Structures are given as structure tokens and as C-alpha cells.
Structure 1
Amino acid sequence: MTTMSMLGEVRPEHDCPDDLVLLHYLRSFRHPVLEVWAACTEPRQLVRWFGAVSGTGTDLVIEPDDGPVPGPLTVHVDHCSAPNELHARIDGDGALELRLSQVGVVTNLELVRRHVHPEQAATIGPRWQYLLDRFTAYLNTQPMPQWRDYTDLATEYR
């Protein structure tokens, strides 16, 4: 089993109707912000930890390589300010925010998955933790985690 990272947090989404929640994740890397940004956004790197990417510009399709994420995923980039901020919609309704900041030799990554129905947090939460752990393994040239090690995390995201 690969060592898992800390859990994401389920937080109320106060500016959203219907009692929706957001999932909030933080990670820190001893890599320059440009390197982390490239691993998050360049198709030739995404394929190594997430899946194959097709499309160009603001409309992309990602075919996940492994794990519980059903594919293909359609991604529309709403805002991009490289190398610090990316806002996207996944499959039309899943709002995703990615923020990177470098402090000294450490790059901090903040990922927020917005507009989650509370009953879906137990499914979506472990998926993003798994993907972030795959991303971390890729950046650090470590073995990729296996989805089977994450299936029991659903209760942590309720």
C-alpha cells in the first residue's frame, strides 16, 4: 500500500443554494511552481498520472487512466492565470478551482471542488484524494497508489 496524504475537508458552501458543500484539499511540494503547474496542465504530463487529454484551448476531454473516475470527462476552462490559478467545469456542473503559490522552495497547491451535493461528497471526496495522491507520486517519481486503498474513505467525507 502506498502512503496516503491527509484527507480533504468537506465545508459548507455559503454562497450557494441548496445546502451544497465544497471539498477542499491542500498539498505542498518541494518543486518550483512552474514545474507543478506544468504537471497539472500539460497533456504530455497529465497522461502520466490522470489520463489521455484531447482537445485544445478551453475545451478538453480527459480519458481517465485508472481508478474510480468515470470517463470520459469533459472539461471547460473558465479562467486561467498561469502558473497560479485555474477555474474549470467538469462535465458541465462540477466547478473546480486550482491555486498554486510558491513560498521559498515550496509550492502550495489548493484544490477546491465546488457545488457538491452533500450525499455525493462520500463518493467524490476519495476520488480527488486519490487523484491528488497520484499527482504527488508522479511529481516525486514514486509508485502510483492503487484505488483499492481508498475505497474505505467514503465515511471520512460525510
Structure 2
Amino acid sequence: MPIPTGRLVPTDQGYDLTLQRTLPVAIEHAWDYITESQFTERWIGPWEGVGDVGETIKLYLAFEEGKPGFKVEILECQAPEHVRVKTLDDTLPWDLAIELTQPEGQTELQFTMRDADPSTIGEIGPGWEYYLDQLVAIVAGDPAPDFDDYFPAQRSYYEDQRPS
């Protein structure tokens, strides 16, 4: 089983879920995997639309049953370091950000799900662990992980972080 690393971090507005990964490529190449549909389709799913700030794209979750699609608004984008989006689904109104930095030739990725709901963190946390590990595997040319190694195995790790 992969070791979970995400953290539920208290903020002034509630809680953020944060996860970090290291990508073994230069920041410009890592940026392509975060923002270009032909690369995102390899680890989370393809998207269609205009990829500019203020625009709405449709992202398809290629590794979920039925490959559902949903609208995503691009809130912020500063290539190649920062992108922030918000899902426009009534059931999944998620505010997501990725920050990239490049110390010593690799790219450090920090993923943040702003205002994460602690009551659902046991289901959401393992999913993001899986997707980010899949991103690392694809970039490194390694075999993709198996979701069954993440859920429900990592559920208790995340549930233990819920505020009391």
C-alpha cells in the first residue's frame, strides 16, 4: 500500500487539503502535464474548451466509472508556476490549486484543495493521493498505480485528521 502524505490544514475559512509530490522533470515539462489536455488525459483525464483565465472547460475523469465530465472554471494561471480552478458542479464545488517550483532540476508540486469538507476527507484524500501518484508515475515512465491500493486502505489515515 502506498503511504498517504496529505494533510488537512486549518485555515481562517475552514480546512485545506494539501499534498506534495516531486516530479522528475523540469518545471516547463511538469506544467504541460498540469495544463495540456494531451498530457492531463494520461493521469486524470482530457479536457476540452479554451484554457484561459475566466474561461470554463469540460474535464472528463478518464479513470472513473463512466468517465464523467464536469465544468471547471479557470480562476488563476501563471505559467509555469500556478494554476487554480473551481469545479462548477453543485455536488462537487471544489476550489483546487497547483503550485510548481523547481529546486535542483526537479519540480516540486503542491496541490491544495481549498475549503475541504472534513466530513468527506476519508473518501476524497485517497482519491487525490491516487491521482497525484499516477501523475508522478506517468511523468517518470513507471507503471500506473492501482486505485484499490488507495481506497479504502487510506481512509482511516484521513479520517484521523478530522477535527474533534
Partner of 2:162: none
Show structure 2 runs of 5+ residues with no match: 160-164
One-letter code of the match for 1:9?
Answer: R
Q: Does residue 1:83 correspond to 2:77, yes or no?
A: no
Q: For residues 9 and 69 of structure 1, what CA distance do their matches in structure 2 show?
A: 29
One-letter code of the match for 1:73?
Answer: F
Shift >3 Å, 4+ stretches: 67-70
> What RMSD over aligned residues (CA atoms) do the two structures have, in Å?
1.9
Partner of 1:28: 22
Q: Does residue 1:11 correspond to 2:9, yes or no?
A: yes
- Summarize the alignment of residues 8-157 of structure 1 with structure 2, pairs less than 5 Å apart: 8-12=6-10, 14-16=11-13, 20-57=14-51, 58-67=55-64, 71-92=68-89, 93-151=93-151, 152-157=153-158
Q: For residues 123 and 4 of structure 2, what CA distance do their matches in structure 1 show?
A: 17
What does the per-residue CA deviation read over 1:42-88, in whole Å, with 9 as the maximum and x for residues that have no partner?
Answer: 00111111112111133111111114797223211101000001111
Identity across aligned pairs (percent)? 24
* Aligned partners of 2:96 and 2:113 also within 8 Å: yes
TM-score (norm 2): 0.85
Q: For residues 57 and 65 of structure 2, what CA distance do their matches in structure 1 show?
A: 20
* Aligned partners of 2:4 and 2:154 also within 8 Å: no
Higher share of residues assigned strand:
1
